[in-house]
A and B are shown apart, each in its own frame.
Chain A
Amino acid sequence: MENVLEIKNLCKKYDNFELKNISFTLPKGMIMGFIGENGAGKTTTIKAILDIIKYDRGEIKIFGLDNQKYDNKIKEDIGVVLDDMFFPEILTPKDINDSMKSIYRNWDTLIFYDYLKEFSLLPNKQIKTFSKGMRKKLEIITALAHHPKLLILDEPTSGLDPVARAEVIQIFQNVLEKEECSILFSSHITTDLEHIADYITFINHGEIVLSKTTNELLDNYGIVKCTEKEFKSIEKKDYIKYKKTKYEYEVLVENKKDFKAKYNISVMDKITLDDLMVLMIKGEE
């Protein structure tokens, strides 16, 4: 399968934080959820992909091309939503359209105005009069209006209320139905990703902890809730992490079927990305 994004051994060192050998790939037409707690390195990785920061070592290829060498060519086909609000708030959506149609070769004014209408954003109103949800929608519309082949979204739903979040997710789903687009979607709100992501890549303390298909994760991984006696009977190689709560042990296992076959301990059937993230971060080895 063709990859739209390939990251190999990406390293970037700051005084108090470090990205360590980040590697993952995003196949064409897929949505990858990029999860991790705040400060784990999601935004730093995304900034390195977009050349907003320079990295110390490693390789980033987008559409098979080096991201720094072919910067201009690549960016024509990327749509971006960054973590922070980024449009000068004295501009209007009309100003954004006027500027962007001279910046992107494939800018589609018609579709931009269609989206504005669909999301009830007035073209001549200054952005500073918009709510946070409206601003986010405008940013997403702008990222979509040049028919990108790759969307890079850094926390596009953070700070939004549940209704606005659902609307934003719906926009992406609609786009995926119409266009062949791949998405790298970073979020610490994992419930947003469970329904739409094909792949999950989990970053913690600047390192990739896992990168797998969502089905593989949710179908195979399991959490065992057991007593101390039962926990002590489990071999160390059969679990990833565990957490001791007031009354029981919560143990994360990589393959719940194998675990069930080996031990006579009941395993929770359904695991969520939230459960996985909390145990991965807070659990002991």
Chain B
Amino acid sequence: MIGFIKKDLAMIKSNLKLIGILLIVYAVMGLMGEMDISFLLPFMSVMIMISTFSYDNYNKWDAYAISLPDGRKNSVKAKYIATILMVLITAIITTLLSFIISYINTKTINYEQIVITMLGTIFGTLLVLTFMYPTIYKFGVEKARIGIFLIVFGLVMIGGVLSKYINLSFIVKSLSFLENYIVIILIILMVIMVYISYKISEKIFYKKEF
């Protein structure tokens, strides 16, 4: 499987410059006290990893991957692990940078807020992965992009309509007792949803013919 991860990471080498530029933009905006864009890097890393599906598809890699030892199983596993690795690495770098910015700006470091923000970001990006990857394996990357746009659009619409008729603050309040466990709940939720997503993708890819 490591070979497949190496191949996926080698494919995004040329995007490292983009990540570097984003880091600089984030640092500058942070120091100027402008908008917090710390979510951008982990989110971009998922987007970059999704672009590897386009290359695989364009160059018909998947058929070849299956002809390699344990190819059907490992190529799916590698995509998930490479993406999670990229999300975690960019999240750690952004978090460290946030500590430095926070210290320069205020002479103190608001550890808790930074870590919670980053955890929320990781959760959000992995949510994208959770929905996107099985959709990509099933319908291909182009259709999956449109599909995910429709899903997000639909959710926003439903949320908007619901908030008109239902008192959402009541739900938030009634769930407030979970606040102390939020970190552990987020982590457990992330593990479960990524695992289920992986199993679905694996099943789709196992049946797929090229």
A binds B: yes
- Interface presence of B67 (CB below 8 A): yes
Judge whether B55 and A88 touch: CB under 8 Å. Answer: yes
Contact of B64 among A86, A91, A102, A104 (CB under 8 A): A86
**With A88-B55, A103-B69, A104-B69 given, is the CB distance from A95 to B64 under 8 Å?**
no
Kindly provide the distance from the CB of A84 to the nearest chain B CB, expressed in whole angstroms: 5
Closest Cβ–Cβ distance, residue B201 to chain A (whole Å): 18
With both chains docked as a complex, state the minimum distance between the C-beta of A200 and any C-beta of chain B, in angstroms: 24
Contacts of A85 in B (CB 8 A): 59-60
Q: Which residue of B lies closest to A128 (CB)?
A: B59
Tally chain B residues at the interface, Cβ within 8 Å.
27
Consensus secondary structure, chain A interface? loop
A76-B69 in contact (CB<8A): yes
Known contacts A86-B60, A100-B3, A80 near B67 by CB under 8 Å? yes
**In residues 149-164 of chain A, which contact B (Cβ within 8 Å)?**
152
Is there contact, CB below 8 Å, between B4 and A52? no
Cβ contact of A91, chosen from B10, B66, B67, B72, cutoff 8 A: B10
Minimum Cβ distance to chain B for residue A101 (Å): 7
Do the beta carbons of B3 and A87 come within 8 Å of each other? Answer: no
**CB neighbours of A51 from chain B (8 A):** 66-67, 72
Q: Which residue of B lies closest to A104 (CB)?
A: B69
Determine how close the nearest CB of chain A comes to the CB of B126; give it in whole angstroms: 24
Rounded to whole Å, the gap between the CB of B198 and the closest CB of chain A is 19
Q: Shortest Cβ distance from A43 into chain B, in angstroms?
A: 10
Q: Mark A83-113, 1 if CB is under 8 A from B, else 0.
A: 0111111111001001111111100000000
A53 at the interface (CB under 8 A from B): yes
Q: Report if A54 contacts B (CB, 8 A).
A: yes
CB-based contact A80/B64 at 8 Å: yes
Q: What 17 additional pairs, Cβ within 8 angstroms, besides A80-B67, A82-B67?
A: A52-B209, A71-B70, A72-B69, A75-B70, A80-B68, A84-B60, A86-B60, A88-B52, A88-B56, A88-B58, A88-B59, A90-B11, A90-B14, A91-B11, A98-B6, A99-B3, A99-B4
A positions within 8 Å CB-CB of B: 47, 50-54, 71-72, 75-76, 78, 80, 82, 84-92, 95, 98-105, 152
Give chain B's interface residues, CB within 8 Å of chain A: 2-4, 6-7, 10-11, 14, 52, 55-56, 58-61, 63-64, 66-72, 207, 209-210
